[in-house]
Amino acid sequence: MQKVPDREEKRHYIRLNTVFPIEFQLVSREDRNPISELYEGFTRDIGKGGMGISAKVLKDRDREFFNFIPHETKLKVIINIPLDKEPIESFATIEWIEKQPGPIIDTYFFGISYDFINELEYEKIVSYANWLRLRPKLAIALIILLSAAFVFSLSAFLKTHREKIEGQRDLVRTTAEIEQAKETKAQAEKAKSDMAIELESAKKKQTTVEAAFEELAEEKKTLEEMSMLSEQAEEELRLELDKLAEEKALLEERIEGEAAEVEEEAGREAETPEEEIAARISPERLEAEEANYNKFRQLILNEKIQSLSSYVSSHRSSIYHAAALFALADLRYKYGEEALAAVSYNQVIELYPKSRYALYSSHRLGQLRMKDHYSRYTLKDFYDTYNLPELFDYRDIKPYIR
């Protein structure tokens, strides 16, 4: 609630019984350019340097607009004097403001002081205000004057014109009642117009609320459908996980059996070192396979698992196929794809049983069975412990043929 003018401050204003409409909007303090839309209100008081204004708005609507700061907020005011063709425009400063809450409509009262107004137009406002203020007094004086004349006439013609005088009295009373009825009708029509505006605004607000409820209902329906889909997807995922668990168990059994066979086979074929097999590869073959070597090497170094898998599958006849297949298995083990890693290790053992890659694949399968975490340097321990061929890193690829 802003400051309300005290008795001394309000003393400079003229209280009116009749109001007339005005329009106002916020303007910039620097250049007086408009910074809001026009609002409508009515005068309450007319002062020497300003006026009091009242404005009605729907409850909680445009609250921010009426956050006036006394002595700082600037307004452009358009004053519409009845029976005057041209409205009067001026710039003013807010001096005080107060709010009267209502069930549907809030009423704001505030006072302004003129910053700038044309002198002639200002005199026009003051003259109209003075006329409004003096009108009741003039009416009373006129009535008194008429009454005196009436009494004088009555005393002179009392005997001869009694019936006529009584008729005149009835006419005066009837005329007053007609004027009062007209005024009451005008007030009722104004109240009816205000209620129609309020009712229209309430209907618009109701329409907005109903639209919001419809949107919420649609969102709720969408969420329910998504929830049903989520439950269905969860059930499918659970079944898929159960299936994978069964496949993993079968694969582990197969791995244990094949690992034992590979170790036994490795013992029997130790007399044929991989170096002797690799020595049979001609320089011409190595040169012809240089493109495959570079491609395998690039995919392995960049750890492109999917691309490496595709390239390994399409180049089974390459002399670097054994090394690349082992590197693929190791990368899968490294990044937690244990089931696929086990498949690749078993392929190495099956396709290249006499190679160093088969021996190390067998040990990797043992690590998988023990659920050990991947470690690139574990292979050196196997090399020292089991006197295996030198192979410390999956990135070290060498040619091999069956």
pLDDT in tens, the chain (402 residues): 444 445 455 445 555 555 778 999 999 988 889 988 888 999 888 777 788 999 888 776 666 778 888 999 999 999 888 776 688 888 999 999 998 888 888 888 999 998 878 778 778 877 777 777 777 777 787 788 877 767 776 677 677 677 777 778 878 887 888 888 788 788 878 878 888 888 787 778 777 767 777 877 787 787 777 767 767 777 777 787 777 667 666 666 665 665 555 455 444 444 445 556 566 788 999 999 999 999 999 999 999 999 999 999 999 999 999 999 999 999 999 999 999 999 999 999 999 998 889 988 998 899 899 998 887 745 566 666 666 667 767 888 889 876
- The predicted structure's pLDDT at residue 65: 77
C-alpha distance from residue 234 to each of 143, 221, 297 (Å)? 94, 20, 40
Q: CA-to-CA distance for 117 and 39, rounded, in angstroms?
A: 20
- The predicted structure's pLDDT at residue 243: 74
Indicate if the alpha-carbon torsion angle 263, 269, 271, 275 is positive or negative. Answer: negative
Q: Rounded to a whole number, what is the distance in angstroms from the first to the last CA of the chain?
A: 95
Residue count of the chain: 402
- The predicted structure's pLDDT at residue 270: 40
Nearest alpha-carbon partner for 1 in 115, 103, 106: 106
- The predicted structure's pLDDT at residue 11: 45
The model's pTM: 0.35
- The predicted structure's pLDDT at residue 275: 58
Q: CA-to-CA distance for 332 and 374, rounded, in angstroms?
A: 10
The CATH H-level superfamily of 7-130 is predicted glycosyltransferase like domains (2.40.10.220)
- The predicted structure's pLDDT at residue 77: 92
- The predicted structure's pLDDT at residue 121: 78
The answer to whether the beta carbons of residues 71 and 95 sit under 8 Å apart is: yes
Contacts made by residues 179-186, CB under 8 angstroms, sequence distance 24+: none
- The predicted structure's pLDDT at residue 75: 92
Q: CA-to-CA distance for 65 and 27, rounded, in angstroms?
A: 12
Domain spans in the chain, listed from the N-terminal domain onward:
7-130, 134-215, 269-386
Q: CA-to-CA distance for 194 and 199, rounded, in angstroms?
A: 9
Beta bridge partners of 96: 111
> At 100, which helix (H) or strand (E)?
strand 88-100
Q: How many degrees, rounded to 5, is the angle at CA 133 between CA 128 and CA 137?
A: 125
CATH number for the 269-386 domain, one of 1.25.40, 1.10.357, 2.30.30, 1.10.760?
1.25.40
- The predicted structure's pLDDT at residue 230: 67
